[in-house]
């Protein structure tokens, strides 16, 4: 399945170039730039010979029919929205590479046994509605009425915003079950430096980590900073600092585990937050990521137990509450094997790797087996303007994606060994 490297790269550059000019590379979901990018993508889908539509969840879909319409589709793709100044490849690569695979089939008049669908999932990145993975949640039948009622700052509901981009959210509630997929495969930049450090071409993703977020509130007593002696203070920020340090130390100690744990305190709210006041309360956001579900569940409770003696000595009270929890998602063994075989057949090195970021596949997994293919990105940088991968690396990923799709089409329809020729 040949890949047109120049066309692949031109399209990546063209879609990335649809950005807020004063803040590259930014194309936030539901924004005018996003709608412009969607229109460009839809035109490219149609010009490539794909049957193109917007589904009820607001996802852009291009389909190349298979020879057996009774078979569920093989789905490839990713997302085209970005975080602010979020980079040129995150999401874009998977959509454009998926289009390149489908167009290659169309140009040769070749059909797989399975239908092949290319998806641009709506709003994978956190949106102004406080929700991520909107399109893939909808696809999996997991976008609830409460979610559709969420409002952004201007009062527009998610339901209204989905209607504006061509979705039909009122149809989602009538779906008794999500439409099954034969397999979902997403090509993505690694967003880390493991592949680059190892000099490896391809990452075969084993798991998408679980993500648990908790709010930890440290309560002391606000006092005048000039008149309250140090020995009499109940400084909530000092206690928060102890917790922050403990998060770092605990997660660092778990890096040698078979499934490492990442712990982050990324947001603080300090009250009263004044230069001349002892902090009376601090709210911290704790985020824990790992493919080890038990470790995620235990982390917060063990953290507070570790710091209890210190916070009690400071005369502080500490409470924690769950904000959100998404369990780890394992990638299907059959897709991991197909991707590893595809890399070998195409002449690329590969290694197993876990994804430390969340992806649409977490929700698509409710509909069938999922897998991911990673390529290196420079210095592991992502969600920044400096995000970069080389044209040859993008080509390698697209070639491995194409061969993975071909192998899966054969193995899912007629399980057994195959000796394919590129």
Q: Is 125 annotated as a binding residue?
A: yes
How many residues are recorded in the chain? 422
Q: For residue 272, is the peptide bond before it cis, meaning its omega torsion is within 30 degrees of 0?
A: yes
Q: What is the DSSP string of 232-247?
A: G---HHHHHHHHHHHH
| No. of helices (H) and no. of strands (E), the chain | 12, 15
Q: For residue 227, is the peptide bond before it cis, meaning its omega torsion is within 30 degrees of 0?
A: no
- Burial call 189-220: b when 16+ CB within 10 Å, e when fewer: bbbbebbbeeebbbbbbbbbbbbbbbebbbbb
Q: Is 79 annotated as a binding residue?
A: yes
Q: Is 383 annotated as a binding residue?
A: yes
Give the torsion sign (CA, 203, 207, 213, 214).
negative
Question: Which residues does 389 contact at the CB level (< 8 Å), separation at least 6?
Answer: 89, 93, 189, 375, 376, 377, 378
| Residue 340 near residue 408, CB atoms below 8 Å | no
Q: How far apart are CA 343 and CA 364, in angstroms?
A: 24
Q: Is 276 annotated as a binding residue?
A: yes
Give the torsion sign (CA, 408, 410, 413, 417).
negative
Q: Is 90 annotated as a binding residue?
A: yes
Q: Burial of 126 by CB count in 10 Å (0-12 exposed, 13-18 middle, 19+ buried)?
A: middle
Q: Burial of 45 by CB count in 10 Å (0-12 exposed, 13-18 middle, 19+ buried)?
A: buried
Annotated binding site: 79, 90, 125, 188, 213, 276, 289, 383
Residues contributing to the annotated binding site for allantoate: 213, 276, 289
Give the residue numbers of the binding site for Zn(2+).
Answer: 79, 90, 125, 188, 383
């Amino acid at each position: 399945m040949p890949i047109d490297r120049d066309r692949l790269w031109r399209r990546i550059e063209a879609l990335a170039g649809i950005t807020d000019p004063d803040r590259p590379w930014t194309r936030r979901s539901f924004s005018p730039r996003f709608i412009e990018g969607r229109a460009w993508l839809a035109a490219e889908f149609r010009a490539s010979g794909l049957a193109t539509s917007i589904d009820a969840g607001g996802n852009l879909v291009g389909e190349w029919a298979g020879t057996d319409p009774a078979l569920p589709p093989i789905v490839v793709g990713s997302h085209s929205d970005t975080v602010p100044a979020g980079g040129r490849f995150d999401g874009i690569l998977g959509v454009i590479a998926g289009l390149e695979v489908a167009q290659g089939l169309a140009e040769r008049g070749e059909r797989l046994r399975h239908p092949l669908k290319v998806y641009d999932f709506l709003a994978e990145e956190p949106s102004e509605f406080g929700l991520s993975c909107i399109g893939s949640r909808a696809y999996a039948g997991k976008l609830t009425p409460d979610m559709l009622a969420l409002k952004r700052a201007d009062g527009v509901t998610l339901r209204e915003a989905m209607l504006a981009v061509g979705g039909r959210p009122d149809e989602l509630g009538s779906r008794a079950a999500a439409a099954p997929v034969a397999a979902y495969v997403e090509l993505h930049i690694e967003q880390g430096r493991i592949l680059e450090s190892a000099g490896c071409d391809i990452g075969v993703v084993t798991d998408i980590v679980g993500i648990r977020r908790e709010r930890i509130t440290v309560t002391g007593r606000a006092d005048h900073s000039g008149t309250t002696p140090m020995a009499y203070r109940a400084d909530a920020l000092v206690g928060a600092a102890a917790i922050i340090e403990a998060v770092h130390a605990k997660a660092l100690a778990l890096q040698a585990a078979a499934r490492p744990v990442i712990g982050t305190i990324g947001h603080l709210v300090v009250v009263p937050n004044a230069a001349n006041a002892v902090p009376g309360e601090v709210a911290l956001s704790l985020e824990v990521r790992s493919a080890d579900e038990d470790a995620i569940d235990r982390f917060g409770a063990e953290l507070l137990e570790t710091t209890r003696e210190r916070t009690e000595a400071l005369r502080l009270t500490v409470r924690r509450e769950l904000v959100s929890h998404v369990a780890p998602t394992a990638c299907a063994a059959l897709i991991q094997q197909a991707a590893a075989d595809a890399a070998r057949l195409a002449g690329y090195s590969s290694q197993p790797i876990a994804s430390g970021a969340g992806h649409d596949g977490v929700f698509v997994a409710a509909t069938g087996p999922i897998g991911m293919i990673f390529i290196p990105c420079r210095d592991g940088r992502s969600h920044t303007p400096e995000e970069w991968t080389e044209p040859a690396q993008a080509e390698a990923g697209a070639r491995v994606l194409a061969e993975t799709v071909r192998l899966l089409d054969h193995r899912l329809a007629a399980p057994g060994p195959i000796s394919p020729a590129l």
